[in-house]
Amino acid sequence: ELKVEQNPLFLSMQEGKNYTIYCNYSTTSDRLYWYRQDPGKSLESLFVLLSNGAVKQEGRLMASLDTKARLSTLHITAAVHDLSATYFCAVDMGGGADGLTFGKGTHLIIQP
C-alpha cells in the first residue's frame, strides 16, 4: 500500500524566513504533485515533478524530487503572508489508475 507522509503537518513562521516541507512516499511513483489549498477552496496545482532530480520554481516556491530517496521537498524562500495555505503533496503510482494518493497536508501560517 502506498503511503505518503508529509512533515511538518503544521508550521507557523515569520515573514521573510525560509522553510522546507518534506514529502516521503513508500513505493515507486510515476509522478509527484504539489497542490495548494486555501480554506474552503479547491486544490490549485503548483508543481508536477516527473523524474529524479527534477527541480521547479515559481516565485518564492521551489520543489524538488529525489526518486531514489522517495523524497520531495517544497522550499519557501522569504515567506510572505499570501503564501499562508495548506500544501499537499500527492503521488501517482499507477499511471492514473489508482487516483492520486495524498499526504495529510501541511497547514502553513505566515505571520506578518
Distances, alpha carbon 87 to alpha carbons 7, 46, 47, 73, 90, in Å? 11, 9, 11, 11, 10
Minimum gap (Å) between residue 90 Cβ and other proteins: 8
Q: Is 51 in the site for other proteins (CB under 8 A)?
A: no
Which of 54, 73, 80, 102 touches other proteins by CB under 8 A?
Answer: 102
Q: Is the link from the previous residue into 8 a cis peptide, with omega within 30 of 0?
A: yes
Please tell me whether residue 41 binds other proteins under the rule CB under 8 A.
Answer: yes
* CB atoms near residue 64 (< 10 Å): 18
Question: What is the smallest separation between the CB atom of 101 and other proteins, expressed in angstroms?
Answer: 7
Q: Which is nearer to other proteins, 49 or 83 (CB)?
A: 49
